[in-house]
Amino acid sequence: MNTIIRNQQARIIKSLKPNKVVMIFGARRVGKTVLMSQIAEQFDGKKLIMNGEDYDTLALLENRSISNYRNLLEGVELLIIDEAQHIPEIGAKLKLMVDEIKGVRIMVSGSSSFDLFNKSGEPLVGRSVPFHLTPFSQTEISQTENLLQTKQNLEARLIYGSYPDVVLMNSNEERKEYLKNIVNSYLLKDILMVDGLKNASKMSELLQLIALQIGSEVSYDELGKQLGMSKNTVEKYLDLLSKTFVIFRLGAFSRNPRKEITKAGKWYFYDVGIRNALIGAFNSLPLRQDVGHLWENYLISERLKKNLNENSDKDIYFWRTYTKQEIDLIETAGDKISAFEIKWGDKNTKVPSTFAEHYPKAKFRVINQSNYLEFV
């Protein structure tokens, strides 16, 4: 398979300006290192590539002084630091470099926005440009497959997801083992490291409960009761999971709070393969009871990727009334409102009457297997 060029690559290259820091966030194994290597190959000037997990890198950057960094970066036009969140006081160190070393461009990566923003965010206000890298989007994968192959591979996308290594694998058994390894070796390890958490089993149980509730409104009180923890702890854990790019929250859309749900939330996975690995659900689609929810998660995550990759200012929500009329996805851009109902089958669905009444200018579409590629 040919190399897949990430949709954000051109924007990242354009953002590599003298005395600025480009920060690339994303979960482990989504391709941050490969992307930075591809960008480095295209850069003609002198570059220095470092890794925050390497002891030599830590030693070289330990002395936070102008003279040390001037010696280290003499003649360097591009500094690249992978896994930068492992470097103590990384924010203050990067600030010193971009403030004092004329002409240097810096690109760093991190597997947790919580961690890297905490360690680099505040000192770099006005000096940094953040990017969020996700697993492959379908538009990125389409660089290497035709329309027939895309349709043939849809079931694999819904079961095994779109992590770069998974997409490039030929065997479903290999994909399954890879995803299990991601969940056990990387995902929980990264989450627990972020906030010094020690209760891996509770975090794993919470993720499994969320995996079983995709497409449904989540009650923090109910989750707390099931897990034997407080509502506040559940919220804290979910916040950490979102900041390590495992799951994301869809809030409720409302401009008429008397009739519409306003405070509820739904949680989805950035990658359905990770979701399936958490609950050991790798059986084929005809044997599954959760195809509708899986399809909903897949399309909403693909739409999120699309908006991220296009640097869109659109916001996404779900919509529901107290009388249980609902729409899967609402997308807003300024005053424009678009509503999408997601269906695995080809059943036609009309716009809910209450929504049509309150938002007469909103566009409404049903997204199914016949038109989803236009949507993503």
- In this predicted structure, what is the pLDDT of residue 190? 65
Vertex 370 angle, CA 146 and 324, to 5°: 140
Separation of alpha carbons 267 and 239, rounded Å: 11
**pLDDT tens-digit series, residues 150-189:** 999 999 999 999 999 999 999 999 999 999 999 987 776 6
Which uninterrupted H or E stretch holds 332?
A: strand 326-333
**pLDDT tens-digit series, residues 93-106:** 999 999 999 999 99
* CA distances (Å), origin 348, targets 32, 70, 105: 40, 65, 52
Structure tokens at 325: 């009329």
The string of DSSP codes covering 234-293 is: HHHHHHHHHHTTSEEEEEEP-S-TTTB--S-EEEEES-HHHHHHHTT----GGG-S-HHH
Residue 199, pLDDT above cutoff 90: no
Closest CA to 214 of 288, 141, 151, 153: 288
- In this predicted structure, what is the pLDDT of residue 114? 46
Q: Report phi then psi at 58, rounded to 5.
A: -60, -40
Closest CA to 189 of 112, 242, 81, 249: 112
* 267 neighbors 334 (Cβ within 8 angstroms): no
- In this predicted structure, what is the pLDDT of residue 347? 83
Alpha helix ranges (H) inside the chain:
9-15, 32-42, 55-62, 66-72, 90-100, 113-120, 138-141, 147-152, 154-160, 164-168, 172-181, 188-194, 200-211, 220-227, 231-243, 272-278, 291-309, 353-358, 372-375
* CA distances (Å), origin 15, targets 69, 120, 161: 22, 18, 30
Query: Residue 198 — very low, low, confident or very high, per pLDDT cuts 50/70/90?
Result: low
Higher pLDDT, 201 or 344: 344
Percent of the chain exceeding pLDDT 70 equals 93
* 48 neighbors 76 (Cβ within 8 angstroms): yes
Query: Residue 346 — very low, low, confident or very high, per pLDDT cuts 50/70/90?
Result: confident
Mean pLDDT on 74-85: 95
Per-chain mean pLDDT for the chain: 91
Lowest mean pLDDT among 99-113, 140-154, 293-307: 99-113
Three-state DSSP class for 217? strand
Q: Residue 33 half-sphere exposure, CB side, CA atoms within 13 Å?
A: 13
